[in-house]
Structure 1
Amino acid sequence: MKLRLSAVALALLGHTALFTAPAARAQNAAPQNQTTTQDNPSLARQAVGWSQDRLAELDATIVVLEKEAAKLQGDARAKADATMKALREKRDAYRTKADEAATNAKSWTDTQVAEARKSLDENWAAFQTARDEYLESAKADLATRRAILEAELEARQKAWQKSIDDLKPDAGKLAADQRAAVDTRIAALKAQADEAKARAARLQDASAQAWETTKKSYADAQQLFFDTYASIRQSIEDATKK
């Protein structure tokens, strides 16, 4: 048996875009990502599977904002409390969708999975938009924005590591030559995640502009990780079917 590797995924590993985009970019990127997953049902199912991991990022954002809100008084505190209520409602709406998808995805058709992915992306974008609108209206300082990004990145790193760890047992079932090829790709995927973490650490004292640049490239990193992971997973599945 010869393992089929994705040339596109291998090429993607050469790129180093590594952090998050603001909600506006997330919304703009969503149609393209949805089209990709609709064209490839296995990608759509993997995206739905990861939807619960994304909840950790929403929770992390809320924790940071709640701490900041607790420091406010008067009208500012009232406005912050109202925003937090709205964000928790959006987070809970996403959780409901994610739980439904996790429970039913295995029995859903490809069309139903694609629709669930679209709905999850829309709920995610709505949360991001509400968060960014609040940060702008409250004139949140760099420290607050940086704390949010760091909290989200930490949650995402944990999800990435879990995904990498989940690949290893299945890779271990392959023939020696196939396993070596997959292990090399898994190692490259881990290096990609580690570099993202290292870059964040180097930005501790960076300027506001540097942090905005960081935010604008994170969405690319998330999509890169997702595409590469899905390609490795597909390669393992193809090899075990032969």
Structure 2
Amino acid sequence: MTLILRLSAISLALVAQAALFTAPVAFAQDTPSQVEPAAQDAPSQARQAVAWSQDRLAELDATIAVLEKDSAKLQGEARAKADAALKELRARRDVYRTQAGEAVANVRTWTDAQVVEARKSLDKSWAAFQTARDEYLEATKADLATRRALLEAELEARQKVWRESIEELRTDSAKLAADQRAAIDTRIAALNAQADEAKARIGQLQDASAEAWETTKKSYADAQQLFFDTYASIRKSIKDAKK
């Protein structure tokens, strides 16, 4: 029981993130915060976050699909709690979907301030969904298998977005002159290697020990932010090369 509780607590923390690998030190030099002042990069990063907001819906849908399958196995009071929690999750997802749709439709014409505010609202709705998800897990006393399946489903959804984003970078880089493209292509290849490592580690989750899950938790949030920062930095380099 102690081990299950420990693993459950760890998996809860893990599910709150969206990547699964340790951040390579080599990428630190490519983050926007070190390329340019953070204040100058904030609007462009916010616009990228908004552009990805609809893609993140796949993670919300994946979460709900796993928990719907879990709730179908429950009975009595546990099933009632699960159904109530799922209703809240669907409502939170729908709020996020509406906000994301509006933001994506208007992001090209909004001012930087409007885009930053839209991102804040999306992040708030995302956090509200995660809170509702965690409440489901606690209310139903979800077992480790359910929590693991939830994490794996969310990670698979995120992998799809990452792959598509990398392909977009490759397509845009291919339009540059050869001398401009070489350094950018090297960075894209390194970013792709990060995604490959993440996918490989997803397959190791089934047999992960408590210690392995704890290690993953520590690198989890940093890895997600690193991918976003590195992508944004490469995107900016491509934009500058076109000038």
TM-score range, shorter chain: 0.7 to 0.9
Say which of 136, 139, 152 aligns to 2:141.
Answer: 139
Q: Using the alignment, how far apart are the partners of 1:63 and 1:120 within structure 2?
A: 21
1:233 to partner: Cα distance: 0.4
Say which of 51, 65, 73 aligns to 1:71.
Answer: 73
**What is the identity, as a one-letter code, of the residue corresponding to 1:229?**
Y
CA contact (8 A) 2:60 2:93 kept: yes
The equivalent residue for 2:49 is 47
1:140 to partner: Cα distance: 1.2
Q: For structure 1, which segment, 74-83 or 206-215, has the greater mean C-alpha deviation from structure 2 after superposition?
A: 206-215
The equivalent residue for 2:26 is none
Q: Using the alignment, how far apart are the partners of 1:107 and 1:230 within structure 2?
A: 20
Unaligned regions of 5+ residues in structure 1, if any? 1-19, 25-32
Q: How does 1:43-192 map to 2 (within 5 A)?
A: 43-192=45-194
Q: For structure 1, which segment, 170-179 or 223-232, has the greater mean C-alpha deviation from structure 2 after superposition?
A: 170-179
Report the CA distance shift for 1:37/1:123 in structure 2 as closer, same or farther (over 3 A): farther
The equivalent residue for 1:206 is 208
1:122 to partner: Cα distance: 0.4
Report the CA distance shift for 1:210/1:129 in structure 2 as closer, same or farther (over 3 A): farther
CA contact (8 A) 1:38 1:44 kept: no
Report the CA distance shift for 1:101/1:87 in structure 2 as closer, same or farther (over 3 A): same
Q: Helix, strand or coil: the match of 2:242? A: helix
TM-score with structure 2 setting the length:
0.82
The equivalent residue for 1:227 is 229
Q: For structure 1, which segment, 51-60 or 216-225, has the greater mean C-alpha deviation from structure 2 after superposition?
A: 216-225
Q: Helix, strand or coil: the match of 2:208? A: coil
**What is the identity, as a one-letter code, of the residue corresponding to 2:174?**
G
Q: Using the alignment, how far apart are the partners of 1:144 and 1:195 within structure 2?
A: 24
Q: Helix, strand or coil: the match of 2:56? A: helix
1:208 to partner: Cα distance: 4.4
CA contact (8 A) 1:37 1:43 kept: no
CA contact (8 A) 2:47 2:107 kept: yes
TM-score with structure 1 setting the length:
0.82
CA contact (8 A) 2:15 2:151 kept: no
Q: Helix, strand or coil: the match of 1:140? A: coil
Percent of paired sites with the same residue? 75
Q: Using the alignment, how far apart are the partners of 1:67 and 1:85 within structure 2?
A: 14
Unaligned regions of 5+ residues in structure 2, if any? 1-12, 18-32
Report the CA distance shift for 1:213/1:191 in structure 2 as closer, same or farther (over 3 A): same
Matched, 1:240 2:213: no
**What is the identity, as a one-letter code, of the residue corresponding to 1:144?**
T
